[in-house]
Structure 1
Amino acid sequence: MKYKIQFAVLGIITLLIFSCKNVSIKESSFVKSQVSGKYILDAPEGVWHWGMAPIYDVKGKLHVFMSSIPNKGSWVRNSSIVHYTANSPEGPYTFVDTTFTSKTHTYHNPQISKVGDIYVLVYLWKNSKTETINQEIGIATTKTLNGPWIESPNNPVLKASGKQGDGATIIHASNPTFLQDKDGKFRIYYKSITDAYGNERHREISMAISDKIEGPYRNYDKNPLISYAEKGLDIEDCYAFLYKDSYYIIVEDRKGIKNMLENKTVADSLNKPGGWRPGLIYKSNNGLNWERPEIGYKTNQEYFGTKLARTERPHILWKNGEPECLFLACHDEDPSAGFFVRIKGWNP
Structure 2
Amino acid sequence: MLLIYKARHYEGNLHGGMTIGVAYADHYEGLYRVLSDEPVFPPELFHIEDPFIWQTNEGYNLIAKDMEGHLCGEKYGGIYAESPDGLKWSLHGQPQGYSRTVRWDDGTVQTLGNLERPFLLFQNGKPTHLFAAVSDGSDGFKDASDTWNMVVPLKQ
Which range, TM-score by smaller chain? Answer: 0.7 to 0.9
2:134 matched to 1:323? no
1:235-314 pair list within 5 angstroms: 235-258=48-71, 276-293=75-92, 294-299=95-100, 301-304=101-104, 305-314=109-118
Distance 1:204 1:253 in 2: 13
Structure 1 residues 312 and 211, CA, compared in 2 at 3 Å: closer, same or farther?
same
Structure 1 residues 223 and 284, CA, compared in 2 at 3 Å: closer, same or farther?
same
Distance 2:58 2:147 in 1: 39
Contact 2:53 2:60 in 1 (8 A): yes
Residue identity matched to 1:298: S
Q: Which residue does the alignment assign to 1:41?
A: none
Ranges in structure 2 where 5+ consecutive residues have no aligned partner: 137-144
Ranges in structure 1 where 5+ consecutive residues have no aligned partner: 1-185, 263-268, 270-275
Contact 1:191 1:206 in 2 (8 A): yes
Q: Higher strand fraction: Structure 1 or Structure 2?
A: 2
Q: Which residue does the alignment assign to 1:336?
A: 148
What is the TM-score of this pair, normalised by structure 2?
0.76
Distance 2:112 2:124 in 1: 33
What is the percentage of aligned positions where both structures have the same residue? Answer: 29
Contact 2:22 2:86 in 1 (8 A): no
Residue identity matched to 2:115: T
Deviation at 1:307, TM superposition (A): 4.9
The structure with the larger Rg is 1
Deviation at 1:313, TM superposition (A): 0.6
Q: Which residue does the alignment assign to 1:227?
A: 42
The one-character-per-residue Cα deviations of 1:220-263 (angstroms, maximum 9, x if unpaired) are 224310132x35x621100011123331111100123327xx8x
2:21 matched to 1:206? yes
Q: Secondary structure at the match of 1:306?
A: strand
1:76-87 pair list within 5 angstroms: none
Distance 1:311 1:331 in 2: 7
Q: Which residue does the alignment assign to 2:139?
A: none
Q: Which residue does the alignment assign to 2:140?
A: none
What is the TM-score of this pair, normalised by structure 1?
0.37
Contact 1:190 1:205 in 2 (8 A): yes
Deviation at 1:318, TM superposition (A): 1.2
Q: Which residue does the alignment assign to 1:176?
A: none
RMSD: 2.4
Residue identity matched to 1:287: G
Distance 2:147 2:7 in 1: 30
Distance 2:65 2:103 in 1: 16
1:1-348 pair list within 5 angstroms: 186-194=1-9, 199-200=12-13, 201-228=16-43, 230=44, 234-258=47-71, 276-293=75-92, 294-299=95-100, 301-304=101-104, 305-332=109-136, 333-334=145-146, 336-337=148-149, 339-345=150-156
Residue identity matched to 2:116: E
Contact 2:21 2:36 in 1 (8 A): no
Contact 1:240 1:247 in 2 (8 A): yes
Structure 1 residues 208 and 306, CA, compared in 2 at 3 Å: closer, same or farther?
same
The one-character-per-residue Cα deviations of 1:275-326 (angstroms, maximum 9, x if unpaired) are x532101011112111134000010x34442253111011011112221111
Distance 1:257 1:199 in 2: 25
